[in-house]
Amino acid sequence: MSANDRKDQKNSAFKRGGASKPFKRGGAPRPLSANIPDITKKTLGKRGLAEGGLITDWVRIVGPELAASCQPERLAHPPRERSGGTLHIRVYGGAATELQHLEPLVLERINGHFGYRAVAKLRLIHAPLSGRSERAAEPKDSELPPLDSQSAAELDALLAIVDDPELRASLGRIGRAIMARSAAATRR
């Protein structure tokens, strides 16, 4: 089979719908990050987020503290318009109140990111953040300050009556945090 016959086979497979695009060779290799917009456009477009930069730059747009407790869900525009949309934001915990007070600033930052007035208002959805469990907000045992041996023994004695191991662990973390804070306050 000659090179021309193989090329004809590839092109005929493309014309029949067997391949999505004709195969091209050549050019310099592209970084993976350059292909991300092409890969994610269809999926993000279904949620009104065809501009994936809103998701990838979310921490930079709203700041790390707010981004830890909220994330963009979808962007809904009026029919046949690309401005004046409503950004649905998933919010976890008490950050909703803070986000309501910061709405004008957040809108200014989002619209500054787009370069035009793409978003006119925010709609908050009170729900756990996707890709994170509710337990992600709890401090890990390694982040808690250590207790002295007497305080640890007192806490263990109090927790001995709790049968559920998960509840016992949660109460233990809370107790350790409270005891460590009160010990730190008395040292001052």
Q: In this structure, what CATH number is given to the domain that contains residue 80?
A: 3.30.300
pTM of the model: 0.47
State the residue range of the domain holding 149.
138-187
pLDDT per position as a tens digit, 80-124 = 887 888 999 999 888 888 889 999 999 999 888 888 888 899 999
Mean pLDDT over all residues of the chain?
75
Number of domains in the chain: 2
In a domain, 63, yes or no: yes
CA-closest candidate to residue 158, choices 175, 144, 141, 146: 175
**72 CB neighbour count, 10 Å cutoff:** 21
Q: What is the percentage of the chain residues whose pLDDT exceeds 70? A: 63
124 and 60 within one domain: yes
Whether 29 is in a domain gets the answer no
Same domain, 171 and 146: yes
The answer to the question of residue 4 being in a domain is no
Report pLDDT for 140. 52
- Give residue-wise pLDDT tens across range 8-40: 555 555 555 555 555 566 667 777 666 666 665
Mean pLDDT calculated for residue range 145-161: 85
Residue 120 falls inside a structural domain: yes
> How far apart are alpha carbons 11 and 136 in whole angstroms?
51
Question: Which of 114, 132, 150 lies at the terminal end of a domain, its last residue?
Answer: 132
Q: Is the pLDDT of residue 158 over 70?
A: yes
Is pLDDT above 70 for 68?
Answer: yes
Same domain, 65 and 147: no
Nearest-angstrom CA–CA distance, 170 and 164: 10
CA dihedral of 126, 132, 137, 142, whole degrees rounded to 10: 180
Is the same domain home to 46 and 123? yes
Same domain, 77 and 119: yes
Based on the fold, state whether residues 126 and 145 are members of the same structural domain: no
Q: Are residues 169 and 144 in the same domain?
A: yes
Whether residue 182 sits in one domain with residue 96: no
The answer on 126 and 50 residing in a single domain is: yes
Provide, for the chain, the percentages of residues in helix, strand and coil under a 3-state DSSP scheme, each rounded to the nearest 5: 55, 10, 35
Which amino acid, one-letter code, is at 21? K
